[in-house]
Chain A
Amino acid sequence: MDLVKISDNVWEIPKQGEMRVPALIYSSARLLEAIRRDQTLAQARNVACLPGIVRRSYVMPDAHQGYGFPIGGVAAFDAEDGIISPGGVGYDINCGVRLLRTDYRESDVTAKRKELLAAIFEEVPAGVGKGGITKLNRTVLKEILVRGAEWAVESGYGRVEDLERTEEGGRMPEAAVDGISERALERGIPQLGTLGAGNHFLEFQKVLEIYDEAAARAFGIDAAGQVTVMIHCGSRGLGHQVATDYIEAMENAFGVAGLPDRELVNAPFKSPEGQRYFRSMSAAVNYAFANRQMIAHWVRDVFARVLGSAKGMDQVYDVCHNVAKVEEHPDGGRSRRLVVHRKGATRSFGAGRPEVPGRYRAVGQPVLIPGSMGTASFLLVGTQEAEGLSFGSTAHGAGRVMSRHEALRRFRGEKIRDDLAKRGIELKATSWKGVAEEAAEAYKDVDEVVRVSNEVGLGRLVAKLVPIGVMKG
């Protein structure tokens, strides 16, 4: 496909054929090599053809092929005459990341890291088919879908101040349960408070390097060697079912004729189907917020038990990686209400945006970018430029470059565990095959991804975090 180089890290697919706007790719030449190998660019071009798309179809530096929309894709549609698409959000609605800071130093946990990891493994259910510990009924589940992390905090999971440090305050107000199917509820009941499998993980980390001291201080990160905890998971089967249900509902209502990929199926945002999906997606977002809220609570419990105290274990932030939201963005000198789809992308709002919590508003929103298993993760800060560049969005992780099948052929989980142990990283997992599938070599270089984000201004580097103990579902 013809790409026009705009600058070292910016490339464009000019408007052609059915495209309503150009597509813009934020990537280094090196990351672009991987991006060009799969369907990412063709998918970005398809997104640019959808009704009501505003400005550009954006591709983040960690992008890879998705279904319909690319993973690492950002697209905004006019809230009046644009569309909403379940494929623009993804199946794992509000797959996201939460980061906790601690007062502990690496030396405080070194001797106890095995015990700590074993206790977390015991406390947080993980893996496929593992049920949550909470016996839920439908009435309570429906309340959780409407109230998200607020429900969790009120029910004794975590602290009130966690809420303001969560995107959307831990609750999307648009959520409703009228469009949530019986199946989605059934899948949601046994899985609340579980980590899941695949690329989801929970790890305790240490700060390796600080790039921006002022922002780091604002986020509670004070020095190299400080211990942090990262939780990466989503809305589990409930969210997957909502996506599946609405792809089918939109197919049945609007048909699939003319779509280059059925996963691009969409509905006008203002239509009954569009609104029902948006309310149900918001409910799944809330489920994921509650999920991470509960897991964070158990992590604090384990730290208190094993190390004596959970004091200072404040939440830095909690971000969504797969979501559609109604946001105001400047467009041609006026403010416009847009339905911003971020699929495998992180909101990256700069200082001053009202959505950024008061305590961070002078600095910008914390952005959490997890690496692959055993590699570094990054804390960034959102920027004001990002609003013009990508509707305030940046990358969400490393992004795969190798298939699971190929990874399984090349790596062995037990060997990965031993290699990590030699580097001082403990690993516990529910399946060694699952570990092999998630080998670091199967992913893009996350350092390069955040370097591009930083250089372009999508999100600026604040700190680098490396794992000490990893729990994989």
Chain B
Amino acid sequence: MAGEGAWPAMDRYRILPHTADGKFQAYGRTLEEAFANAALATASLMWDWEKIAPRVRHFVHVKGIDRAQLLVKFLSEIVYLLETKRFLLGRVQGLRIRSEFASLALEALFEGEELSAAHEIYGGVKAVTYNDLKIEECGGFTVQVVVDM
């Protein structure tokens, strides 16, 4: 299952050089796994998700007109939950993507902790962008995302 087990972070995603913002590629055997790893990559730009315990849960449900919009809206949930619920993502569980009429729907369970003085937040993602966004299938899936920081 996506996000579970002792996958080293470097196999899940790679942070790429970008002049002003944050850019990464995330990988997965399935699209769902790549999306879940993209969520952890996004978190890694702000805090160390590997140090976050699964104490609090948030159910996430988003829709998109295509895969790109679905991914942008899914990753935007991390920023939204940080800013409004002080939630730090540590794990993504049960991520599912399905077609729903003309659009795509995604649901997943986020597990993590509430922000406290014990956590260092070293970066702020303002927004998830479409700039240079790629979703590629070649054996497995690779997604590439640039976030505004």
Indicate if B126 sits at the interface (CB-CB under 8 A). Answer: yes
Determine if A65 and B19 form an interchain contact, defined as CB atoms under 8 angstroms apart. Answer: yes
* Per-position 1/0 for A35-71, Cβ under 8 A of B: 0001000000000000000000000000011111001
Determine if B130 and A67 form an interchain contact, defined as CB atoms under 8 angstroms apart. Answer: yes
* Per-position 1/0 for B99-138, Cβ under 8 A of A: 0000000000000000100001111101111111100000
Determine if B19 and A402 form an interchain contact, defined as CB atoms under 8 angstroms apart. Answer: yes
A403-B123 contact, Cβ under 8 Å, with A248-B69, A262-B130: no
Q: Which of chain B's residues have a CB closer than 8 A to the CB of A219?
A: none
Partner of B19, one of A38, A128, A183, A430: A38
A263-B130 contact, Cβ under 8 Å, with A91-B148, A404-B149: yes
Indicate if A455 sits at the interface (CB-CB under 8 A). Answer: no
Q: Which of chain A's residues have a CB closer than 8 A to the CB of B69?
A: 248, 251
Q: Which of chain B's residues have a CB closer than 8 A to the CB of A263?
A: 129-131
Question: Which of chain A's residues has its CB closest to B85's CB?
Answer: A186
Determine if B18 and A128 form an interchain contact, defined as CB atoms under 8 angstroms apart. Answer: no
Indicate if B52 sits at the interface (CB-CB under 8 A). Answer: no
Q: Which of chain B's residues have a CB closer than 8 A to the CB of A247?
A: 130
Q: Which of chain A's residues have a CB closer than 8 A to the CB of B133?
A: 262
Q: Separation in Å of the A114 CB from the closest CB of chain B?
A: 22
Determine if B146 and A240 form an interchain contact, defined as CB atoms under 8 angstroms apart. Answer: no
Q: Which of chain B's residues have a CB closer than 8 A to the CB of A402?
A: 19
Determine if A400 and B20 form an interchain contact, defined as CB atoms under 8 angstroms apart. Answer: yes
Indicate if A405 sits at the interface (CB-CB under 8 A). Answer: yes
Determine if A186 and B17 form an interchain contact, defined as CB atoms under 8 angstroms apart. Answer: no
Question: Which of chain B's residues has its CB closest to A187's CB?
Answer: B83
Determine if A197 and B20 form an interchain contact, defined as CB atoms under 8 angstroms apart. Answer: no
Interface size of B by Cβ–Cβ distance < 8 Å? 39
Q: Which of chain B's residues have a CB closer than 8 A to the CB of A430?
A: 121
A240 to B72, CA, bound (A): 13
Determine if A66 and B20 form an interchain contact, defined as CB atoms under 8 angstroms apart. Answer: yes
Q: Which of chain A's residues have a CB closer than 8 A to the CB of B17?
A: 403, 405-406
Question: Which of chain A's residues has its CB closest to B66's CB?
Answer: A256
Within 8 A of B (CB), among A357-409: 400-406
A187-B123 contact, Cβ under 8 Å, with A128-B46, A252-B65, A405-B17: no
Q: Which of chain B's residues have a CB closer than 8 A to the CB of A128?
A: 46, 82, 121, 123-124
Interface size of A by Cβ–Cβ distance < 8 Å? 47
A190 to B82, CA, bound (A): 11
Q: Which of chain B's residues have a CB closer than 8 A to the CB of A179?
A: none
Within 8 A of B (CB), among A458-473: 473
Within 8 A of A (CB), among B41-84: 46, 65, 68-69, 72-73, 76, 79-80, 82-84
Indicate if B97 sits at the interface (CB-CB under 8 A). Answer: no
Q: Which of chain B's residues have a CB closer than 8 A to the CB of A66?
A: 20, 131
Question: Which of chain B's residues has its CB closest to A244's CB?
Answer: B127
Determine if A240 and B84 form an interchain contact, defined as CB atoms under 8 angstroms apart. Answer: no
Q: Which of chain A's residues have a CB closer than 8 A to the CB of B123?
A: 128, 197-198, 404, 431, 433-434, 437
Q: Which of chain B's residues have a CB closer than 8 A to the CB of A197?
A: 121, 123-124
Q: Which of chain B's residues have a CB closer than 8 A to the CB of A190?
A: 83-84
Q: Separation in Å of the B45 CB from the closest CB of chain A?
A: 8
Q: Which of chain A's residues have a CB closer than 8 A to the CB of B148?
A: 67, 90-92, 240
Indicate if A268 sits at the interface (CB-CB under 8 A). Answer: no
A241 to B76, CA, bound (A): 9
Determine if A405 and B15 form an interchain contact, defined as CB atoms under 8 angstroms apart. Answer: yes
Indicate if A82 sits at the interface (CB-CB under 8 A). Answer: no
Q: Which of chain B's residues have a CB closer than 8 A to the CB of A243?
A: 127
8 A-B residue pairings within 8 Å (CB atoms)? A128-B46, A129-B86, A251-B65, A251-B69, A403-B17, A404-B18, A405-B18, A431-B120
B contact set with A: CB distance below 8 Å: 15-23, 46, 65, 68-69, 72-73, 76, 79-80, 82-84, 86, 115, 120-124, 126-133, 146, 148-149
Q: A186-B84, A240-B148, A402-B19 are in contact. List 5 more A-B contacts (CB 8 A).
A: A67-B129, A187-B83, A196-B124, A263-B131, A405-B22
